[in-house]
Structure 1
Amino acid sequence: MATEVIPVDTISRHVITETKSVCPECNLVLPATVYERDGRVYMDKVCPEHGRTEELYFGSYDMYVKFSRYLHNGKGTENPNVRKVGCDCPNNCGLCESHLSHTGLANLVVTNRCDLTCWYCFFYAKKGVEGAYVYEPSLQDIKEMAEQLRAERPVPGNAVQITGGEPTIREDLPEIIRIIKSTGVDHIQLNTNGINIALKPELAKIYREAGVNTLYMSFDGVTPKTNPKNHWEAPHTIEACRKAGLGIVLVPTVIKSVNDHELGDIIRFAQSNMDVIRAVNFQPVSLTGRMTKSEREKYRITIPDCIQRIEDQTGGMIPKEAWFPVPSCVPITHFVEAITKKPQYELSIHFACGAGTYVFENKGKLVPITNFVDVEGLLEYLQEKTEELEAGGNKYVVAAKILSKLPTFIDKDNQPEGINFAKLLFNALVRHNYSALGELHKRTLFLGMMHFQDKYNHDEERLRRCDIHYLTPDNRIIPFCAFNVFPEWYRDAIQAKYGTPIEEWEKKTGRTLEQGLYRGTLRRGKKAAVAGCAVGALTGEKQDHKVVELQVK
């Protein structure tokens, strides 16, 4: 690809920090500058061979400053599975001594087969591609990967997302779930498009009884145009989960100019199904493949951009002030550690990676937690009490102080009816009694954002703090934004090594890949020979999907 000449205004920009990134063409590690210009945050880097890349990093400088206050170096790992001296990101990646976060959520890929053929997906097994393979680890491989997660120290991994491909294609999925559960993993998410559950509703109960806690379901919009993947099937899946008592997280991949106008509608859809939908986790799209700057600008959207659209599309009901970065919960972790004297789960990802808020339903309206809780004041107070405990303070005296102080952070006049939030917090933080929180979840909706990196906006400081990791059969635990951003080094290389050539797999199983494809059984109108996300269905115009790939996992 020819070097793209990009004029960059270096005079009007305000440098925020220096970091390391990569050339999106050759993967050369480069020094990079993160800076503010016109109220937005950008990254700039120059490859000696392929030239300059300037990329939008964070859509609001004000939000960047607010979120950056919560930057925190986490616990890392005491038993790294990749030995190396000093940081060499993103080379030879696994959990090394330089990594700053333990595993918060482990992705375990059980297949790269899928029942859809979405044009933008990079993951599913495709025929006609040189070296194409089917990757499906054995039950023994899966057990060993889960055991590797549980062996992590100082905090054993305790949450797994079963992913693919489409995991429900595997007929032995219930056994896979039970095996993972048997290793001591408490929380299991199932990442799915939901189609097989829509076709066979009994699967929801089977998966729940096997050990799945949450269905993590792709849901990109409320119309067939924005959500051609499972628009017709999702209601059937939701109803099956409702009957089975299996909670759902909706996962919209947000693409500028494609579905970013429906974020408010997605939240309203979730609100109308709050008895079974527990959360919406928006994922601003990561851009992979070769794309010009103008192409990237067409599709690129960041966390602050999504948050602003949600404020606009909900009529200000969920304002940008309601959102906090994921590491803002670290003071809560530190307080619980000071009380229990035991290491706890610590979500220490980079502040630019993710954000969230809770909204409560009250008289048909959604009320953000910040409408009745002084979140910043509460977090500062908990940090103060943590320091008091660490200095030798009596935990019973501290508990009494907290019991007295907590109500001052709650606005009782704006608190949703029927909720004593101060009492709930005290029981959870001090008494470790979480029973009431279960009932509370039925009246709340968690709204999250998670923006995975790509080669254009890759930041070493973000990668070092990543806490969403992949388990691999070579006994490594690899950060998400190494595994997928550098597939030639990690995802594709590892899965090809442990996979089976498609022709060999078909001969061995007596099946073809095509036999596993969804034919649009539940879709209105004419059924398709092969169902998926047609290019035109998303954008209304023809795209060259060999040039533009959108990362969605």
Structure 2
Amino acid sequence: MLCRARKKDVDYVFYELTRSICPECRRVIDAHILLRDNKVYMRKRCPEHGTFEGLVYSDAKAYMENARFNKPGTIPLAFSTEIQHGCPYDCGLCPDHQQHACLGIIEVNSACNMDCPLCFADAGAGFNLTLEEVEGILDHLVETEGNPEVVQFSGGEPSIHPQIIEMMWAAKKRNIRHVMLNTNGKRIADDDAFLQQLSELHPSVYFQFDGFEAETYRIIRGEPDILPQKLRALDRLAEIGANVVLVPAIDRYVNLHEVGAIVEFGMKHPAVRGINFQPAFQSGRHGEHDPMQRLTIPDILRALEEQTSGTLMVSDFVPVPCCFPTCNSVTYVLNDGDTVLPMTRILNVEDYLDYITNRAVPDLSEEVKLSLEGLWSSSAVPGSDKAAQQFALSCAACELPDGLDLGTFAQNIFMIMLQDFMDPWTFNQKNLMKCCKEILLPDGKQIPFCAYNNVGYREQARLQLQARERERNKARRAGIPYAPAPLTFTFEQKQQNDVIQVMPPGKGLAHEPRA
């Protein structure tokens, strides 16, 4: 009798085809998004370096359902580059990009007063932007955005830049609504004069804070005894009335068990108005890792529910619609000292931010919808007057509990956000094209955060900005004027199967002659 072999199903569902990059050479390659065991994976094959697979999202059901929160993009007033090679090599922003800059990030230097083992910016000696360069960046942002919402000054460690205060004042003078300082807190903890300058400027502070255990800070920051200095900095920020967002980098095997304690601490500290949890990602400087075990947003949400005993629940969090919905998730809670009440339990936020199934519903309040869009946005700044106003408008539709008035709710809001950045193992061109967090460079380029950190832009920008500084100093010593050449980004092109693949130089693949 003839025995026929039986066909077998694969152990995954092929969900979609996208484009990614090879983690070794960074060439653009096709990538498959696969669903397996209720998790989302990316699998891709480089012709020269083989097959790679990594975990993208640890809840496949949520990944698919979140698509309804994908808000139509808002186009900037002007684009800064043309389409030549295609995404991700025409940044930016080029006309193919599907979102404006909700958050502009200016890295004013590459140097830092720490040497963290985990650092996506690979901070170290390099460059300092001049005040004139930053003013040009800000002017171009106003040109493309009209009324920019948020500018974040970052680095390196921006607080050690000798002109950082003047730079932040320059943003204030251009009526940029929110000026943020991204800092590790060291200078704030120890420099009275700097603290006084911040008091006069009154920026929002994006504050590196990874937990409470010495081992956490040893592994992530290389400084196991830094916690007292961070606590002192936070207390000093409270003294000047600053609004602080704690920014913990969370690793599955290092400090995931501390997320509940971070929330409890943040809600009690007078300076802290929000937390932005960021799963550790493997761009820049990082240790050994397993891309199949990377931490994702659903992992942190489940840990928050467990560690807060249900005070916060997974269902309290809603994706941020302005970027791709699996990149961010956020909730707001009433925190008046006695009550912790997530807003999503008194107002069905999904009714307003579901852009697929609710597009044709005529009776949703447009005013409430616009207010919620402002809160569920990468440009939201907790503790600001605008956030309070948006809460007041949003909660006109709320059924507030007895004894809780609208003013109390609006003034005691606390934001908890989760932000997942892509690395070379999870880089997804579809997500990138909706990115609303842009690195702002001299000469006007605005480069999406995950393109800047993964494709080769950061390395090239750093070398050129460092060369600019040397040439500027040389010209100053010689007493001659200096006009810097524009920043340019070039990627070696290589013919592969009749498709032009564009690669950054020096990323692990030997250069070959152009086709």
- Work out which of the residue numbers 177, 182, 193 in structure 1 matches 2:173: 182
Q: Does the Cα contact within 8 Å between 1:73 and 1:465 map onto a contact in 2?
A: no
Q: CA deviation at 1:226?
A: 1.4
- Identity in percent: 28
1:406 shift after superposition:
8.5
Correspondence 1:230-249 to 2 at 5 A: 230-249=226-245
1:351 to 325, 344, 358: 325
Would you say how many aligned residue pairs link Structure 1 and Structure 2?
437
Secondary structure of the 2:443 match is: coil
Match of 1:76 in 2: 75
Match of 1:130 in 2: none
* Residue 258 (1) aligns with residue 232 (2): no
Contact 1:177–1:211 under 8 Å retained in 2: no
Q: Post-superposition shift, 1:183? A: 2.3
* Paired letter, 2:273: R
State whether residues 15 and 34 of structure 1, in contact with CA within 8 Å, keep that contact through their aligned partners in structure 2: yes
Q: Deviations over 1:312-361 (max 9, x none)?
A: 1111211100110000xxxxxxxxxxxxxxxxxxxx20011111001222
Question: What is the CA–CA distance in structure 2 between the aligned matches of 1:105 and 1:408, rounded to whole Å?
Answer: 28
Match of 1:169 among 146, 160, 163: 160
The question of whether the paired residues in 1 share the 8 Å contact of 2:128 and 2:469 is answered with no
| Residue aligned with 1:52, SS | strand
* Alpha-carbon distance change, 378 to 115 in structure 1, aligned in 2, over 3 angstroms: same
Shift of 1:505: 10
Query: Retained in 1: the 8 A contact 2:324–2:431?
Result: yes
Rounded Cα–Cα distance in structure 2 between residues aligned with 1:383 and 1:443: 34
Q: Distance in 1 between matches of 2:19 and 2:464?
A: 30
Q: Taking structure 1 as reference, are residues 406 and 270 closer, same or farther at Cα in structure 2, changes over 3 Å only?
A: closer
1:368 paired with 2:342, answer yes
What is the rounded CA distance, in whole Å, between the counterparts of 2:67 and 2:231 in structure 1? 39
1:20-419 matched pairs, under 5 angstroms: 20-84=19-83, 88-123=86-121, 126=124, 134-153=126-145, 156-212=147-203, 214-228=204-218, 229=221, 230-273=226-269, 275-288=270-283, 295-298=290-293, 300-327=294-321, 348-361=322-335, 364-379=338-353, 384-385=361-362, 410-413=398-401, 417-419=403-405
Q: How big is the shift at 1:137?
A: 1.0
Deviation, structure 1 residue 33: 1.4
The answer to whether structure 1 residue 459 and structure 2 residue 428 are counterparts is yes
Cα distance, 1:484–1:379 mapped onto 2, change above 3 Å = closer
> CA separation in 2, counterparts of 1:406 and 1:107?
28
Q: Describe the superposition over 1:109-166 as per-residue Cα deviations: whole angstroms up to 9, x where unpaired.
A: 111111111122253554xxxxxx521111110100011111015x543310000111
The answer to whether the Cα contact below 8 Å between 1:219 and 1:227 also exists between their aligned partners in 2 is no
C-alpha change, 1:184 and 1:203, in structure 2 (3 Å) is same
Return the TM-score normalized by structure 2.
Answer: 0.77
Q: Structure 1 50/69 Cα, relative in aligned 2: closer, same or farther at 3 Å?
A: same
Q: Which amino acid aligns with 2:276?
A: N
Alpha-carbon distance change, 151 to 506 in structure 1, aligned in 2, over 3 angstroms? closer
C-alpha deviation, 1:411, in angstroms: 3.8
Q: Secondary structure at the match of 2:290?
A: helix
Distance 1:386 1:146 in 2: 40
Q: Residue type of the partner of 1:369?
A: M
1:25–1:50: 8 Å Cα contact kept in structure 2? yes
Aligned residue in 1 for 2:513: none
Q: How far off its partner does 1:368 sit?
A: 1.5
Give the distance between the partners of 1:143 and 1:181, measured in 2 at CA.
Answer: 11
1:461 positional shift: 0.7
In the superposition, the TM-score normalised over structure 1's length comes to 0.72
- Structure 2 vs 1, CA of residues 454 and 296 (structure 1 numbering), >3 Å: closer, same or farther? same
Q: Which amino acid aligns with 1:353?
A: C
Is residue 457 of structure 2 the alignment partner of residue 490 of structure 1? yes
* Unmatched segments (≥5 aa) in structure 1: 1-8, 127-132, 328-347, 391-404, 421-435, 510-546, 548-553
Q: Deviations over 1:387-413 (max 9, x none)?
A: 8989xxxxxxxxxxxxxx988953444
Distance 1:118-1:506 versus aligned 2 partners, 3 A rule: farther
Find the aligned partners of 1:90 and 1:199 in 2 and give their Cα distance.
Answer: 42
Q: Indicate how the Cα distance of structure 1 residues 138 and 418 shifts in structure 2: closer, same or farther if over 3 A, else same.
A: same
8 Å contact from structure 2 (residues 147, 176) kept in 1? no
Any unmatched runs of 5+ in structure 2?
Answer: 1-7, 368-392, 477-507, 509-515
The CA distance in 2 between the partners of 1:190 and 1:443, in whole Å, is 23
Shift of 1:291: 9.4
Alignment of 1:439-454 (within 5 A): 440=409, 442-454=411-423
State the alpha-carbon separation in 2 of the partners of residues 218 and 294 from structure 1: 22
C-alpha deviation, 1:73, in angstroms: 3.4
CA contact (8 A) 1:470 1:477 kept: yes
What are the Cα deviations for residues 263-297 of structure 1, in whole angstroms up to 9, with x where unaligned?
00100110111x32010000111113799997334
2:483 corresponds in structure 1 to none
Cα–Cα, structure 1 residues 359 and 277, in superposed 2: closer, same or farther, change >3 Å?
Answer: same
Q: Say if 1:12 and 1:74 are closer, same or farther in 2 by CA, change over 3 A.
A: same
1:499 matched to 2:466? The reply is yes
Aligned partners of 1:490, 1:386: CA distance in 2, in Å? 46
Q: CA offset at residue 103 of structure 1?
A: 0.4
Taking structure 1 as reference, are residues 372 and 112 closer, same or farther at Cα in structure 2, changes over 3 Å only? same
CA distance in 2, matches of 1:378, 1:476: 34
> Residue 383 and residue 145 in structure 1: after superposition, are their counterparts in 2 closer, same or farther (change >3 A)?
farther
Is the 8 Å Cα contact of residues 349 and 462 (structure 1) preserved in structure 2? yes
How far apart, CA to CA, are the structure 2 residues paired with 1:104 and 1:371?
27
Which residue does the alignment assign to 1:330?
none
Q: Equivalents in 1 of 2:425, 2:162: separation in Å?
A: 38
